[in-house]
């Protein structure tokens, strides 16, 4: 018997039409996806699950009962990449018990290491790079037929145009939407231009269509994603134009975007922070370092002063803007003075939140070839940097007490009547509320600040 068309019946079983047209039922195959790294991987994992849904797979949250395990990986730092191999090691027993289990590696490690993954871990059946997810069903079929399947091409076609539409199921109030992928900046430490390829923007009509569809299904807040999101050029007026057009969608209440590069922050996007009410007052704008010498060696193409002037312009447009950043300590040849310049920049800007990392050598990137900073110095600088950033984060959070914020409620809390949501500044806010549903926006007065969240009362 040859199965030709699997369809979900909505109750978790799969209807299978045999070649002769008769109908048979079978239990669905189960797909376990583990996602590492950035928000774009979260979005890609959702889309892969949807693509595999069309092939008769339902998602499971444990690898134990899976028919296919997919690791959506991150290559940005050595630790992230090595995690993949230790995770794969854990599935050895499972694979021995269940020879039909297929194991796949997707994401940036797949792109960077390709076939090498199968050499290090022969139990891997399938390797798929981020630009080829629309080919996942064919790759899975190949793996099921007992062949090794590898696809790490950068195909001409747009993977998003070829991925199946999202199913119409209801969803939570927040969603990610990828608008741009890849990076042409080539910062000297970063693998992204190699793993995600050149900058590509999705056409704005497609994004508008996907956004409308998300809103129909209950989404109230969309975060636009791109490795260099503000270099978006799929709209004639750039990202600012796209944000303004998205803001015309009734029912879409909040728009965010991440991650931006300082050099692509154009006048219109800055102005949108002043005049587009739906654009939230929170901006992730990585600077990486505060020393001009290091910024130059990082190939960032801007100085510390230019970054600070840009922040001033953004704050003129939106005085309550909360800023977030990424920092790298211990970049090759970073001296104590260079590090102190980074600390001084942080003192001047004052961040509401931040991500900070020790420099990690990435093979094939220019900085990996240069004289390295000793590990204990990196540790020491990271500790001092995180102490400062942590203090700023606490200070800004504590300063919210007494203020009114708007909260988009995302889920129920543990206490009776408690709901948890996010403020416009992306603070987690708990409140005991009556008659407020998940997905509703409400005005809340902040009454207390805890280490990682705020407590509010409905106004």
Number of Cβ within 10 Å of residue 114's Cβ equals 16
List 77, 135, 159, 261, residue binding ligand 5AD (CB under 6 A): 77
Cβ atoms < 10 Å from Cβ of 287: 28
Rounded to a whole number of angstroms, the minimum distance from the CB of residue 224 to ligand 5AD is 17
| Piece of 125-133, 179-187, 249-257, 380-388 that binds ligand SF4 (CB under 6 A) | 179-187
> What is the footprint of ligand SF4 within residues 205-244 (CB under 6 A)?
227-228
Please state whether 445 falls in left (phi above 0), alpha (psi between -120 and 50) or beta. Answer: beta
DSSP-assigned letters across all residues of 216-257? HTT--EEEEE-TTGGG--SSTTHHHHHHHHHTTSTT--EEEE
Buried b (16+ CB within 10 A) or exposed e, 65-90: ebbbbbbbbbbbbeebbebbeebbee
Q: Are 136 and 142 in contact (CB under 8 A)?
A: no
Residue 193, binding choice from ligand 5AD, ligand SF4, none, Cβ under 5 to 8 Å by partner class: ligand SF4
CB-wise, 197 or 439, nearer to ligand SF4? 197
Among 235, 261, 358, 427, binds ligand SF4 (CB under 6 A): 261
Q: Does 260 bind ligand SF4 (CB under 6 A)?
A: no
Nearest distance in Å: CB 132, ligand 5AD: 22
Binding status of residue 189 toward ligand 5AD by CB under 6 A: yes
Q: Which of ligand 5AD, ligand SF4, none interacts with 362 (beta carbon under 5 to 8 A by kind)?
A: ligand 5AD
CB 351 within 8 Å of CB 393: yes
Contacts of 10 (CB under 8 A, 6+ apart): none
Nearest distance, CB of residue 401 and ligand SF4, angstroms: 35
Q: In angstroms, give the least distance from the CB of 432 to ligand 5AD.
A: 37
How far apart CA 293 and CA 326 sit, in angstroms, is 18
Burial class (CB in 10 A: 0-12, 13-18, 19+), 266: middle
Query: With binding defined as CB under 6 A, does residue 326 bind ligand 5AD?
Result: yes
The enclosing H or E element of 208 equals helix 204-216
DSSP state of 371: P
Question: Residues binding ligand SF4: what is the number (CB under 6 A)?
Answer: 10
Q: Quick check: 321 binds ligand SF4 (CB under 6 A)?
A: no
**Using CB under 6 A, which residues numbered 183 to 202 contact ligand SF4?**
183, 185-187, 190, 192-193
Q: Smaller CB distance to ligand 5AD: residue 123 or 426? A: 426
Q: Which stretch binds ligand SF4 (CB under 6 A): 56-64, 105-113, 165-173, 180-188?
A: 180-188
Show Cβ contacts of residue 147 under 8 Å, excluding neighbours closer than 6 positions: none
- Contacts of residue 292, defined as CB under 8 A and 6 or more positions apart, other chains included, come to 303, 304, 305, 341
* Contacted entry of ligand SF4, ligand 5AD, none for residue 77, CB cut-off 5 to 8 Å set by kind: ligand 5AD
359 binds, among ligand SF4, ligand 5AD, none (CB under 5 to 8 A by kind): ligand 5AD
3-state secondary structure of 130: helix
Q: Which of 190, 224, 265, 323 binds ligand 5AD (CB under 6 A)?
A: 190
When the beta carbons of 234 and 456 are compared against ligand SF4, the nearer one is 234
* Strand pairing category for 322-329 and 353-358: parallel
Which residue's CB atom is positioned nearest to ligand 5AD? 326
430 contributes a contact to ligand 5AD by CB under 6 A: no
Other residues' Cβ atoms within 10 Å of the Cβ of residue 322: 23
Q: Which residues contact ligand SF4 (rule: CB under 6 A)?
A: 183, 185-187, 190, 192-193, 227-228, 261
Task: Name the site residues for ligand 5AD (rule: CB under 6 A).
Answer: 76-77, 189-190, 286, 288, 326, 328, 357, 359-360, 362
């Amino acid at each position: 018997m040859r199965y030709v068309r699997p369809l979900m019946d909505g109750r978790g079983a799969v209807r299978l039409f045999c070649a002769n047209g008769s109908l048979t039922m079978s239990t669905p195959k189960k797909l376990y996806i583990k996602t590492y790294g950035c928000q774009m991987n979260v979005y890609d994992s959702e889309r892969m699950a949807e693509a595999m849904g069309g092939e008769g797979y339902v998602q499971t949250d444990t690898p134990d009962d899976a028919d296919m395990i997919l690791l959506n990986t991150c290559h940005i730092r050595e630790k992230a990449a090595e995690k993949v191999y230790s995770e794969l090691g854990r599935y050895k027993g499972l694979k021995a018990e269940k020879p039909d289990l297929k194991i796949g590696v997707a994401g940036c490690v797949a792109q960077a290491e390709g076939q090498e993954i199968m050499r290090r871990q022969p139990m891997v059946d399938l390797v798929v790079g981020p630009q080829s997810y629309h080919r996942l069903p064919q790759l899975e079929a190949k793996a099921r037929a007992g062949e090794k399947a590898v696809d790490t091409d950068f195909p001409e076609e747009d993977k998003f145009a070829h991925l199946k539409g999202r199913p119409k199921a209801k969803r939570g109030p927040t969603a990610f939407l990828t608008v741009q992928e890849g990076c042409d900046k080539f910062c000297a430490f970063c693998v992204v231009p190699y793993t995600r390829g050149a900058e590509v923007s999705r056409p704005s009509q497609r994004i508008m269509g996907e956004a409308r569809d998300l809103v129909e299904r209950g989404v109230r807040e969309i975060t636009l994603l791109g490795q260099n999101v503000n270099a978006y050029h799929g709209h004639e007026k750039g990202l600012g134009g796209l944000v303004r057009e998205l803001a015309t969608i009734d029912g879409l209440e909040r728009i965010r975007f991440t991650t931006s590069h300082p050099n692509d922050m154009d006048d219109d996007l800055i102005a949108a922070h002043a005049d587009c009410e739906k654009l939230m007052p929170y901006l992730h704008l990585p600077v990486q370092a505060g020393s001009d010498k290091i910024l130059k060696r990082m190939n960032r193409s801007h100085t510390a002063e230019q970054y600070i002037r840009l922040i001033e312009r953004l704050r003129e447009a939106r005085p309550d803007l909360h800023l977030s950043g990424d920092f790298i300590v211990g970049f090759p040849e970073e001296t104590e003075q260079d590090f102190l310049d980074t600390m001084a920049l942080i003192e001047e800007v004052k961040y509401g939140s931040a991500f900070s990392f020790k420099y990690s050598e990435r093979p094939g990137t220019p900085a990996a070839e240069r004289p390295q900073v000793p590990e204990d110095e990196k540790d020491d600088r990271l500790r001092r940097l995180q102490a400062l950033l942590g203090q700023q984060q606490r200070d800004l959070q504590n300063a919210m007490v007494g203020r009114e914020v708007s909260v988009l409620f995302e889920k129920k809390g543990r206490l009776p009547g408690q709901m948890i949501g996010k403020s416009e500044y992306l603070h987690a806010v708990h409140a005991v509320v009556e008659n407020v549903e998940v997905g509703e926006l409400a005005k809340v007065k902040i009454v207390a600040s805890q280490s990682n969240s705020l407590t509010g009362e409905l106004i």
